[in-house]
Amino acid sequence: MSGIETLAACAGEWGGTNRLHDPHTGAPEDSTSTLTVASMLGGRFVRLEYTWTWQGEPQEGAFLVGYAPKTGRASAYWVDSWHNGHAGMTCAGTADLDGTFDVRGTYPAPAGPDWGWRTVLRPGSDWLTVLMYNVTPDGAEEIAVEATYTRAS
């Protein structure tokens, strides 16, 4: 099974916890999170839509994930109400046969060079994790989000 097929096999409803490593407070904040995974366009893409909260305010986001078998490249388009407001982020990277997607994008930082953003999607048969890292211009990574999910019953 290819990586996109493994991720597509996660189609359905998931529940779990979103841990935001809040850059404003320097402390992690946990919230309840939901995740819906759906295969699209005959399995060419997978859509992940999630909800979470920050300081009691509802938030939501989504990924559209793809994989090009001829080039072996993974792609994702990411939107999130808290992290990137009205802009989306185009990401590119790799996909493993186990369904792990590791993609990177960039975002503008005021008064300086762009920063990076790395997202790792790791699916299992009854669990799924989403890890997001802030990447400084010199390449140092710091965890920003740890979301863990199990299949909703």
Domain with 42 in it = 3-151
The pLDDT, as a whole number, for residue 20 is 96
> Could you tell me the CATH number of the domain that includes residue 62?
2.40.128.20
pLDDT band at 24 (very low <50, low <70, confident <90, very high): confident
pLDDT at 1: 64
Average of per-residue pLDDT values in the chain? 94
Distances from the Cα of 135 to the Cα of 1, 33, 56, 66, 90, angstroms: 31, 24, 27, 23, 15
The yes-or-no verdict on residue 147 having pLDDT over 90 is yes
Which CA distances in Å does 58 have to 25, 29, 40, 53, 146?
18, 14, 26, 4, 17
Average pLDDT over residues 6-20: 96
Whole-structure pTM value? 0.94
Question: Residue 24 in 3-state DSSP?
Answer: coil
Q: Provide the pairing of β-strand 141-151 with 101-107.
A: unpaired
Tally the domains of the chain. Answer: 1
Residue 38: beta bridge partners? 47
